[in-house]
Structure 1
Amino acid sequence: MAKRQIILDTETTGINPREGHRIIEIGCVELINRRFTGNNFHVYINPEREIEAEAIAVHGITNQRLADEPKFRQIAQSFFDYIQGAELVIHNAAFDVGFINHEFAKLQQALPPVEQYCSVLDTLKLARDLHPGQKNNLDALCRRYDINNSHRTLHGALLDAEILADVYLLMTGGQVALALAAEQDADAGEQQQLAIIRKGPLKVIRANSEELSAHESRLQLVQKKGGRCLWH
């Protein structure tokens, strides 16, 4: 069964929804079986209130920029339909989920809390488990995993979701590879041998210099992260 994950981030008018702060941007990146599908979700939202100056300094989004954008109630159902049933992958999930649940509860016909129809994976908790005692914000993780985020001068929901997707895949790549190997070993005894009919000799396609260089760079990265390279 295909596993659907949504890497999600939001931008807001301030830090506490209980003080009336609202979501102003939602960015989502879809993964199915750890592969990008291109079926992303991105929307700016008119919050119907002023954005705090401290928040503008973080994301650069002003009330003037959002004046003609839809209200949350106008995009709520499409957003709900998009994330329903997926595993949400969020950095500091309590913040974003708290805002989403607050917005859903404000609707005339309230939508249920996120936890009732999605599972949630908090990559901040995951990073702290993997790298205890170290900085684990998104910028620090990009440095740790050699992800180029030089274009990230301000926060943005879709941009941060795209970066987080890369971080998440690198953080969990080794674990998935081990799990896959175990599954393959378990299934090996149940698989039937298949006869392969060959018409003439197999064609050997050799890697060119650019491909060999890219392969070597990847092996060096694996070693740098503490992995073992059997191909070196």
Structure 2
Amino acid sequence: MSLKQEWREALINRIGLSLYEQFSNATVAICGLGGLGSHIAIALARAGVGKLILIDFDHVDMTNLHRQCYKVNQIGCNKTEALLENILEVAPYIDIEAINKKITEDNIVSLLKDADIVCEAFDDPSCKAMLVNGVLERLPDCYVVAASGMAGMGSPNLIKTRKLTNRFYLCGDEVSDVKNTMGLVSSRVMLCAAHQAHTILRILAGE
């Protein structure tokens, strides 16, 4: 049996053939590859999602390393290329499209039209709103999973997931702001990322 077959069988043995097929036939776009997006991408890849579209225009720098899934030797690299490399180390047979570009109102449809689910993982509130509104208004068959509030040392139990509409889910505490707290702490950012990743898997599973 080839390594690829072993990898597939291991997933099927873990989650069952039906769920494996639902995950492996899905395409998820992750917009923003920082503390949220990098963790979300790796979680989805490990779960067996068939294709990830990774979108960011930033580079890895030293300040990213305390909460994002990058390594010291990747400082200066495009985040898209660095994260692709890291994902393939743990999920070598996933299909990845890495797009080193900023999402705007003009390109949102062309970049995201193939996605079943769009994951919003931006830092900037105006960019968050632009992406969510753009998907909900212009991509009628697409789900959106977004985040709001994960900064500081607040209780992890305040991070929650809410279904706001049939196609829109929001993860986080919806209160904390990086400007009004000590900033972003790796563990709490990872909690929010886990909520987003698991919500995406539940959508794909029909839950």
Q: Same fold (TM over 0.5)?
A: no
**TM-score under structure 1 length normalisation:** 0.29
**TM-score under structure 2 length normalisation:** 0.31
